[in-house]
Amino acid sequence: MHAAQSIVAPAFFALTLVVAGRPVQRRLVRLGMHRMLAALLVLLALYLVLVVLAVALGWSIAQLSTTLPQYAPEFEGLYQTVSDWLATLGLQVAGINQLLGAVDFNSVLGLLRRAASGLSAAGAQVALLVVVMFFLALDSTDTASRRRLLARARPQLSDALSGFVVAVGRYWIVATVFGLIVAAVDVVALSVIGVPLAVTWGVLAFVTNYIPNIGFVLGLVPPALVALLDGGVSSMLWVVALYSVINFTIQSIIQPKITGDVVGLSPTVTFVSLVFWALVVGPLGALLAVPLTLFFKAVLIDPDPGARWVDAFLVTAGAAAEPATTPEPVAVTDDGAAGAERGPESFPDRQGSG
């Protein structure tokens, strides 16, 4: 997977996005819309979301590239102040000066420009993401026969994958809703404080909200630094205080609790999976840490009753306390929705929808 990360990461990302749109697609089919038309409408909606996100990121990077040069004198003054303060403490700052002397404000702008060019270089992965989403949307119009075959041959695996589909869809919904809340609150708070580029930092907060555990820190550092350069220490302290109260409370306390209830993974496993998958499949692994963990849990652990003891170390306390039950065979209706399949011990009138 590490060797093929440029293929694995965007392909799996495409899978999770199409899976997240499946409930809407099934609802459209139940309302009488043709399967192909429903799949195309959901696909277009997903493409629109990706385009809006890409435009917002590009606009934010452009805003940073044009605005940050205005703070070059303040940055150099801050650097000199810190060097003088370290000197008064008796620290040997010669080595630090030699190290940081080559890191001027223009190099920071160079990092932004390289980030922008890196987004352009990722065009191949974006193209793969778009194409895979298209073919997955076509395949999603006729999944009944595949799911019947899987339910007959591997009923426990079928049940586990059905759980994965539900959990991933809920995870993206929870992350998106909380990201929008955090971004809106941050923009208002930063505007009140008077920090420049408030909307840009709101976009950053929305994107970093998809990164478990450390997204709060990644979204805090840039606006705090700009607040320090623009308004001084007091402005920076206000940003840190508001982010700690708002973002930390929402992203690190409330959201993980709801996410844990939705996907069943403990906070420790979520953080370790973030580090692990970022090393395995690259930067997208940080965004896909929870879905990837859920997928391999569904494939390797949930279908095997003898391996479910591993859940004691993976899932939340409430989920771990629930006794393991044998999954019920899953049947698939003509519109692709899963229902309870009649087995030898099933009641004749028991049937539902998934």
Question: Which positions ≥6 away from 77 have C-beta within 8 Å?
Answer: none
Answer with the one of 142, 162, 191 that is the final residue of a domain.
142
Burial class (CB in 10 A: 0-12, 13-18, 19+), 148: middle
Q: What range defines the domain where residue 34 resides?
A: 1-72+105-142
* In a shared domain, residues 331 and 189: yes
Answer with the one of 142, 167, 188 that is the final residue of a domain.
142
Answer with the one of 97, 122, 142 that is the final residue of a domain.
142
Rounded to the nearest integer, the mean pLDDT of the chain is 78
Q: What is the pLDDT of residues 48-81, one digit of tens each?
A: 999 988 888 888 878 777 777 776 676 666 666 6
Question: Which positions ≥6 away from 313 have C-beta within 8 Å?
Answer: 269
**What pTM value is reported for the model?**
0.73
Q: Say if residues 29 and 142 touch (Cβ distance below 8 Å).
A: no
* In a shared domain, residues 278 and 237: yes
74, HSE (Cβ side, Cα atoms, 13 Å)? 14
Could you tell me if residue 100 is inside a domain? no
How much of the chain is in helix, strand and coil states, percent to nearest 5?
A: 75, 0, 20
What's the first-to-final CA gap in the chain, in angstroms?
Answer: 31
* In a shared domain, residues 117 and 201: no
* In a shared domain, residues 225 and 258: yes
pLDDT score for 110: 53
12, HSE (Cβ side, Cα atoms, 13 Å)? 24
* In a shared domain, residues 156 and 135: no
Write out the two tokens for 11: 């392909």
Q: What is the pLDDT of residues 13-24, one digit of tens each?
A: 999 999 989 889
Interhelix angle 198-208/35-67, nearest 10 degrees: 130
Strand partners of residue 20: none
* In a shared domain, residues 160 and 137: no
* In a shared domain, residues 134 and 183: no
Could you tell me if residue 81 is inside a domain? no
pLDDT score for 115: 53
Could you tell me if residue 273 is inside a domain? yes
* In a shared domain, residues 320 and 229: yes
* In a shared domain, residues 153 and 51: no
DSSP code for 251: I
Counted domains in the chain: 2
Could you tell me if residue 344 is inside a domain? no
Could you tell me if residue 155 is inside a domain? yes
Could you tell me if residue 85 is inside a domain? no
Q: Say if residues 255 and 224 touch (Cβ distance below 8 Å).
A: no
Q: Say if residues 151 and 332 touch (Cβ distance below 8 Å).
A: yes
Quote the CA–CA distance of 270 and 251 in Å, as a whole number: 13
* In a shared domain, residues 158 and 304: yes
Q: Is the dihedral of CA 324, 325, 329, 334 positive or negative?
A: negative
Could you tell me if residue 98 is inside a domain? no
* In a shared domain, residues 170 and 267: yes
* C-alpha 64: how far from chain center: 23
* In a shared domain, residues 271 and 318: yes
Q: What is the pLDDT of residues 124-163, one digit of tens each?
A: 788 889 999 999 998 888 887 888 888 899 999 989 998 8
Q: What is the pLDDT of residues 214-248, one digit of tens each?
A: 777 888 888 888 888 887 888 889 988 888 888 77
pLDDT score for 283: 85
Write out the two tokens for 52: 């809006």
pLDDT greater than 60 at residue 320: no
Quote the CA–CA distance of 87 and 81 in Å, as a whole number: 10
